Structure 1
Amino acid sequence: MSSKFNYGTDHLTIGICLDIAAGKTKGIIGDEAAARVQASYNEVKKIVHAQLPVYGINTGFGPLCDTHINEEDTSTLQSNLLKSHSVGIGKPIPQEIAKLMLISKVHALAQGYSGINPATLDRIIWHIDHDVIPVVPEKGSVGASGDLAPLSHLFLPLIGLGEVFINGEKFPAGQILKDHNLEPLVLGPKEGLALINGTQFILAFAIKAVQRLNDALNLVDLIGAMSLEGLMGSARPFDARIHAIRPFKGTELVAARLFTLLSESEICNSHVNCDRVQDPYSLRCMPQVHGASRNAWLHLKELTEIELNSVTDNPIIFDANDTISGGNFHGQPLALPLDYATIAAAELGNISDRRCYLMSEGRYGLPKVLTNDPGLNSGLMIPQYTTAALVTENKTLCFPASADSVPTSLGQEDHVSMGSISGRKLHQVIDNLEYIQAIELLYATQAMDFRRPLKSTPVIEACHSYIRHYVPFINEDRIFATDINQIHQLITNGSLLATANEAALNNNINLNHNDEFGIY
């Protein structure tokens, strides 16, 4: 464990949150946060003893908010809340997403506005530190009033109910508590509500999407540069002067990256004086298209980080005489940028498919379908069918979930965000995008081989060689799904990006022209 993070007081970035989930950083409750949490917990006890009417502490929930709850029943009220709201269905969400939910919830509760018992926070941190991860179904949240259903499932293990994952295997939570000599918690007033009222389901999907889409954006520039080399396109459209007079941040960054990736390429330099006036848009407009997606990513990153350091439950406890029932649990601030990012991710696949098509046409000195013997061999004709299918599937996923709202809770909750669906859909689009990128790499490496003995630049050549180590040159037809899946693995395990970054470092090449586009 290389470092520590103080929940509730330090600023939590997306990168740090992912590092805590990966076990690289340890999250702790420092003295300042502990004092705040204890003070807030004490204020809730004052409210109960004084019988001050405060929503969710001594009242029912939702449309039952006018129902008074006796002091002796306040604990039962909270455990009933977790049980009754555990209505999620579908497959379990990935364990990393559930762990990110735990981490982001601890950080929100540790700020001292939620009335949580310090012992409850300690138990949640125990789950994080020991990788005992609750089983959370993927469907059931409308993204307002908090992610009620998934958060209820997330915290059932605190009271000895539900299931947990340990090393990928499911176990009853009660059994695991016994195995570790731990007793189920008895929730105090406000605790159940504090646990399930919040946006941590939407937020966890957003955190992971920021990381995944960032990787995809870094790859799409690299893959686009490789395709441009295979097609003998021009690097002139990436001249910084063009983009300085239309200075979108994402566009300028992509242009700088592409210019750097292609600088002093033998392939590029071999056709400087050719009579080709300009390239198709899928090559020439990479800064504008990739860059627009980067702008959407930046918007999502900035808002996700705000949410990551926010208090999103209800009511907010300032002191016993100052509690406010507000709407910080509403998921709309993330639902909209998640839908925006979904379109941005889909467009990366759209332009990638166009480059695949371009490389198969037999233009610019390349053989049709990138094979030496077309006719007898279909070559790379059909993989583009797969990119076309994936691109269209992504388009169907681009309908914004946040554009809809279905009233719930007998009309008390009459506008909801549906941001939980936005978050899940974005990951489906990124899943498809990673396969589209794998197919474009299959095309680009093959196209580059037809330009030999000319070489590209160190980073591009390192990536070409790395792919060729796993996927040989295509001399004749074979089962191309095997090649696609192999390249897909190099994308998803991070090794291809790592190869590019190592080559850049070894050759003193800077591909990170703007720190704002990082996750730390």
Structure 2
Amino acid sequence: MSVLKLDGNHLTIEDIKDFLGNSDSTVEITEDAYARVRASRAVVESIIKNKKTIYGITTGFGLFCNVLITEEKTAQLQTNLIRSHAVGVGRPFKEEVALLMMVFRLNTMLKGHSGVREELVNQLKTYINKRIIPVVPEQGSLGASGDLAPLSHMALTLIGEGEVFKDGIAVDTKELLNELQVAPISLEAKEGLALINGTQPMTAQGVVNYIEAEKLMEDSLWIASLTHQGLRGITDAFDHKIHESRGYKESVYVAEKMLDYLEGSKLTTRQGELRVQDAYSLRCIPQVHGASFQTLTYVKEKLEIEMNAANDNPLIFSEAEVYSGGNFHGQPIAIAMDLLKIGVAEIANISERRIERLVNPQLNEDLPAFLSPEDGFQSGAMILQYMAAALVSENKTLAHPASVDSIPSSANQEDHVSMGTIGSRHARDIIDNVRNVLATELFIAMSAVEIRGVDKLSPKTKEKFNQYRQVADFLDHDRQFSIDIQNLSTALRSI
């Protein structure tokens, strides 16, 4: 069983990979983190006792920040906040994303700047460890003032309201709590606000996006290597001298990986043997794929900062230092997700161009037109290229940056927002499209190299070929190819 220790400061993407990769993984809270939680809560209790005016503790929210709340209403204020802000619509986030929302929200509370009680952090810990996963509608957040709507749906479940997942189905929270003998919690002063002022939905979806995008970019290289052999590509373009002379370490990495995958192939050529140079979709694999790898470096850095960030408001540092700020603003993650969208979309753009070269008889080095087993009578891979082109075109719309948009809210008090959650969701959709495009290239490339002769493949790509040939058969007759693509796409998630 994997145990993830949370202290508010040291969470990494690799930690999350391990956590999500083990269904029985749990979280623990370090003792120093508990000490920080107790200290910050003592400050909140003092503020209430001394009737100080502090946003969200003894005042209303947003435009109502100047409305004072009496001591006897401070607890009910927090419940009112959660209920009124749970306005999300649309399909729910996937369970793994909702689970990470709780992990990340708990982690930020452990920094000791949120003023919550131990009871609340323990409630989150219980929900995570028992997999009481909230149903969180994915639409309705502006990505500033926190991801208010989605986090409110998460918070509702902690008090026994809203819905949670049970065997993949949405059920009333109380039903599952009764079954597991877990009691709902009552929120006290500051705790409702501490639950929803943050970027956890966009960050949780962003981390899942990153993990999937990283794998897809790695997979794209050996898939491109199969295509390269199917088209009798020239290996000289991957020589280390070319890429070291430019200086991008990601391009150097991709070129090295391509040569590694192609080593020992009897299908590749050298410049001048069949032609002097390849088209860009083959020759520029290191430059294009390498540039996409660059986006991963930026995105990972920003996500790991945000996973350990204090993004509450107000933030408590001491009794004399309780400051209202804007750490809940999602702009850093919004820009990171927009960058990821572009980087991943480009993988599909160049993949689709390789698909075209594989099926076009004017470009595919004497392979059958559309890899058809019978010209004219069977269409072969003709419409597979159409499908890939449609997904690539859809990605161009989804890749439009969400972070450049802003709509004022709360009577213009909150007059600039990030739209980061929209960007994160769109990045997810692009990744799904890219996976299907790569599955299509893989399907067609496997058939192309089978026509050329599997025995001529490089050893490393032959190993991949043998793995994935178990998933989808040779293109030897017209059939419902969408089944093959779906099966390969599913396999690319796990193999």
Q: What's the TM-score once normalised by structure 2's chain length?
A: 0.97
Per-residue CA deviations over 1:279-309 (Å, capped at 9, x if unaligned) read: 0000000011111111112111111111111
Residue matched to 1:335: 334
Aligned partners of 1:424 and 1:351: how far apart in 2? Answer: 23
Cα offset for 1:199?
A: 0.3
Aligned partners of 1:108 and 1:299: how far apart in 2? Answer: 22
Aligned partners of 1:277 and 1:90: how far apart in 2? Answer: 53
Aligned partners of 2:284 and 2:384: how far apart in 1? Answer: 24
Q: Is 1:111–2:105 an aligned residue pair?
A: no
| Contact 2:8–2:108 under 8 Å retained in 1 | no
**Which amino acid letter does the alignment assign opposite residue 417 of structure 1?**
S
Cα offset for 1:255?
A: 1.1
**Which amino acid letter does the alignment assign opposite residue 129 of structure 1?**
N
Structure 1 residues 159 and 275: alpha-carbon distance in aligned structure 2, compared to 1, 3 A threshold: closer
| Contact 1:315–1:324 under 8 Å retained in 2 | yes
Aligned partners of 1:474 and 1:334: how far apart in 2? Answer: 42
Q: Is 1:199–2:199 an aligned residue pair?
A: yes
| Contact 2:60–2:68 under 8 Å retained in 1 | yes
Instruction: Provide the secondary structure at the position in 2 that maps to 1:100.
Output: helix
Structure 1 residues 261 and 384: alpha-carbon distance in aligned structure 2, compared to 1, 3 A threshold: same
Instruction: Provide the secondary structure at the position in 2 that maps to 1:411.
Output: coil
Aligned partners of 2:453 and 2:157: how far apart in 1? Answer: 60
Aligned partners of 2:23 and 2:412: how far apart in 1? Answer: 43
Aligned partners of 2:143 and 2:208: how far apart in 1? Answer: 17
Alignment of 1:305-454 (within 5 A): 305-362=304-361, 363-452=364-453, 454=455
Cα offset for 1:372?
A: 4.1
Aligned partners of 1:196 and 1:221: how far apart in 2? Answer: 40
**Which amino acid letter does the alignment assign opposite residue 412 of structure 2?**
G
Cα offset for 1:268?
A: 2.1
Structure 1 residues 285 and 24: alpha-carbon distance in aligned structure 2, compared to 1, 3 A threshold: farther
Instruction: Provide the secondary structure at the position in 2 that maps to 1:376.
Output: coil
* Structure 1: gaps of 5 or more residues: 496-520
Instruction: Provide the secondary structure at the position in 2 that maps to 1:318.
Output: strand
Residue matched to 1:178: 178
Residue matched to 1:17: 16
Per-residue CA deviations over 1:2-22 (Å, capped at 9, x if unaligned) read: 4x3321255111121243344
| Contact 1:131–1:166 under 8 Å retained in 2 | no
| Contact 1:434–1:491 under 8 Å retained in 2 | yes
Aligned partners of 2:179 and 2:488: how far apart in 1? Answer: 42
Deviates more, 1:214-223 or 1:169-178: 169-178
| Contact 1:296–1:341 under 8 Å retained in 2 | yes
Instruction: Provide the secondary structure at the position in 1 that maps to 2:138.
Output: strand
Cα offset for 1:273?
A: 5.7
Structure 1 residues 166 and 18: alpha-carbon distance in aligned structure 2, compared to 1, 3 A threshold: farther
Structure 1 residues 273 and 281: alpha-carbon distance in aligned structure 2, compared to 1, 3 A threshold: closer
Aligned partners of 1:168 and 1:479: how far apart in 2? Answer: 29
Aligned partners of 1:308 and 1:251: how far apart in 2? Answer: 29
Aligned partners of 1:167 and 1:32: how far apart in 2? Answer: 36
Identity over aligned pairs, percent: 41
Residue matched to 1:300: 299
Residue matched to 1:120: 120
Residue matched to 1:455: 456
Residue matched to 2:215: 215
| Contact 1:9–1:32 under 8 Å retained in 2 | no
Aligned partners of 2:94 and 2:138: how far apart in 1? Answer: 9
| Contact 1:97–1:204 under 8 Å retained in 2 | yes
Instruction: Provide the secondary structure at the position in 1 that maps to 2:91.
Output: strand
Per-residue CA deviations over 1:117-169 (Å, capped at 9, x if unaligned) read: 11111111111111110110010100000000000000101112111112212
Aligned partners of 1:254 and 1:24: how far apart in 2? Answer: 36
Aligned partners of 2:75 and 2:450: how far apart in 1? Answer: 69
Cα offset for 1:371?
A: 2.7
Aligned partners of 2:7 and 2:184: how far apart in 1? Answer: 25
Residue matched to 2:277: 278
After TM superposition, where is structure 1 displaced by more than 4 Å over at least 4 residues in a row? none
RMSD of aligned Cα (Å): 1.5
Q: What's the TM-score once normalised by structure 1's chain length?
A: 0.92
Cα offset for 1:245?
A: 1.4
| Contact 1:299–1:337 under 8 Å retained in 2 | yes
Per-residue CA deviations over 1:209-265 (Å, capped at 9, x if unaligned) read: 000100110111111111000000011111111111112232121111111111222
| Contact 1:214–1:297 under 8 Å retained in 2 | yes
**Which amino acid letter does the alignment assign opposite residue 344 of structure 2?**
A
| Contact 1:16–1:25 under 8 Å retained in 2 | no
Residue matched to 2:50: 50
Aligned partners of 1:179 and 1:296: how far apart in 2? Answer: 45
Residue matched to 2:146: 146
Number of positions where the alignment pairs a residue of Structure 1 with one of Structure 2: 492
Instruction: Provide the secondary structure at the position in 2 that maps to 1:182.
Output: coil
Instruction: Provide the secondary structure at the position in 1 that maps to 2:90.
Output: strand
| Contact 1:115–1:317 under 8 Å retained in 2 | yes
Q: Is 1:488–2:489 an aligned residue pair?
A: yes
**Which amino acid letter does the alignment assign opposite residue 139 of structure 1?**
Q
| Contact 1:371–1:379 under 8 Å retained in 2 | yes
